[in-house]
Structure 1
């Protein structure tokens, strides 16, 4: 691929002004200044090594827990879709998977191999790289509970970091500057295939019954405050079904925002802030966003 004025010469795909809304679960947001899809890990390492320090870098995974603002993203937006980034390998006591592998796919590989302990991943709508980067969790377990190591591409090269070195906290991992998760190993234990399948069915059934899984949504909007449930606080503040333009608080699960059709990122974010204000006024508790909001507001 021919070099660009501000980017190193890459073998992968580089697009200027690429629309990003189709990649996000909300289906909103402006374009990327540069959308880069590296051919492989070596291509990614070259990009990270030679990218100018002043050039912003944003990693986009499954974009399931993300609002990209209507003005889009400056600099490089990185999507891992090339060779090796989605591979899943089954081992005797765990799974090694690329960052682009969907969490549910990792869970399915483990179940097929009769490995227990990763069932919770089928309840997380995202990719493994994002799950590691935010210590994603569901149904009583988090990535920190099962991670052996993660390989992280950095400007200085490829690092293999343990769970302790990632300093996991609630919905957070500490990655090196400009670090990009490319692969991870998750621990599992041999188990009864029927019991593993039954647990995954239970999780999927619970999600279908309690969450708007088929809507244009972004997953859990706010973090659960200590000892509290965000959805209950939102419900108590009278926000169930609250709407702003094309954005709405789900009537099924109040900690989910919906794009009912034609919503802008600004409407979704403003509705979220309205919910936060109402919860604070009603309960005295300040909700923290779990959904990442990134990019520029529309001009």
Structure 2
């Protein structure tokens, strides 16, 4: 085994010192030591098996729920592409590659008369949706997921039942370094026209209440604990994160180029000049002021990874 990823045989694309900002929805972030885009599951398996286990690996989806800090990531970032975006619908189940976009999966399922409409307005890809137990309109991945295929850090290709993934509220317990390559979901049957109509209604409601044209990463904080359960279909959300942020007077609050959206105060947006440090500093200031105002400690929903830039200063 080798610590040098460049010497590991591979068929995909391996890029050193690759900036990650353009791969995230917030458009911030320093470079990864390496970015590996495997050709297929076999290529990924062989690469991880040959790579020294001491080399950190970070699986990355489409960056829809991610802040990469300005100093970047000291790791091999694994990003799945075209070889992992297939979608197949058969016998009440949908099999989707981890790189397939949630919205595409919802539409293809509806074409086949299968109801995965909850995925239509969730940003990101299926691999990320599993990792975060993504959900909307009272349905979560935990309610539909049957099993996933994954490549473990040592290169083993395994099938992991949903029950073994520790799916909770916006969380999972995947093995460290595991890369999901595909997911199988069970879906109730429905009329294709009715399913598409429902999704159009969902899109209209989302666009009327969320800053979909701004650079954001979706919801910044989880709904407060004690008001949201662990992801069951009968979940109730009597208190929303946006409400406690709004009550603290933080709608539109800004640090540097980072702002809590005036349209939806639980959306952290890059107004065009934000650094990752701006975004994270704003989120932490919001957490501090909400705690002071309401006694509620908000938990980040956006993942924050990597290292800060050396001698970085944040404009307040």
**Residues 12 and 37 of structure 1 are in contact (CA less than 8 Å); yes or no, is this contact kept in structure 2?**
yes
Query: Match for residue 72 of structure 2?
Result: 72
Uncovered stretches (5+) of structure 1, i.e. residues with no partner: none
Partner Cα distance (1:148, 1:204) in 2: 27
**Residues 16 and 35 of structure 1 are in contact (CA less than 8 Å); yes or no, is this contact kept in structure 2?**
yes
Match of 2:146 among 141, 148, 154: 148
What does residue range 176-187 of structure 1 map to in structure 2 within 5 Å?
Answer: 176-187=175-186
Deviation of 1:267 after TM superposition, in Å, equals 0.2
Query: Match for residue 90 of structure 2?
Result: 91
**Residues 24 and 64 of structure 1 are in contact (CA less than 8 Å); yes or no, is this contact kept in structure 2?**
yes
**Residues 48 and 178 of structure 1 are in contact (CA less than 8 Å); yes or no, is this contact kept in structure 2?**
no
Match of 1:136 among 111, 134, 137: 134
Uncovered stretches (5+) of structure 2, i.e. residues with no partner: 228-238, 311-316
Q: Deviations over 1:206-251 (max 9, x none)?
A: 1101111111001100000122210000000000000011100001
Query: Match for residue 230 of structure 2?
Result: none
Partner Cα distance (1:82, 1:111) in 2: 22
Partner Cα distance (1:186, 1:241) in 2: 38
Q: Deviations over 1:245-267 (max 9, x none)?
A: 11000011110011001100000
Partner Cα distance (1:205, 1:162) in 2: 35
Partner Cα distance (1:113, 1:156) in 2: 34
Q: Deviations over 1:16-70 (max 9, x none)?
A: 1111111100000101110100111011111222222221111110110110000
Query: Match for residue 295 of structure 1?
Result: 306
What does residue range 36-185 of structure 1 map to in structure 2 within 5 Å?
Answer: 36-83=36-83, 85-116=84-115, 118-154=116-152, 155-185=154-184
1:188 aligns with 2:187: yes
Deviation of 1:188 after TM superposition, in Å, equals 1.1
Give TM-score, length-normalised by structure 1. 0.96
1:218 aligns with 2:229: no
Partner Cα distance (2:200, 2:212) in 1: 15
Which secondary structure does the structure 2 equivalent of 1:189 belong to? Answer: coil
Which secondary structure does the structure 1 equivalent of 2:157 belong to? Answer: strand
1:232 aligns with 2:232: no
Residue correspondences, number: 295
Question: For the aligned residues, what is the CA RMSD?
Answer: 1.3
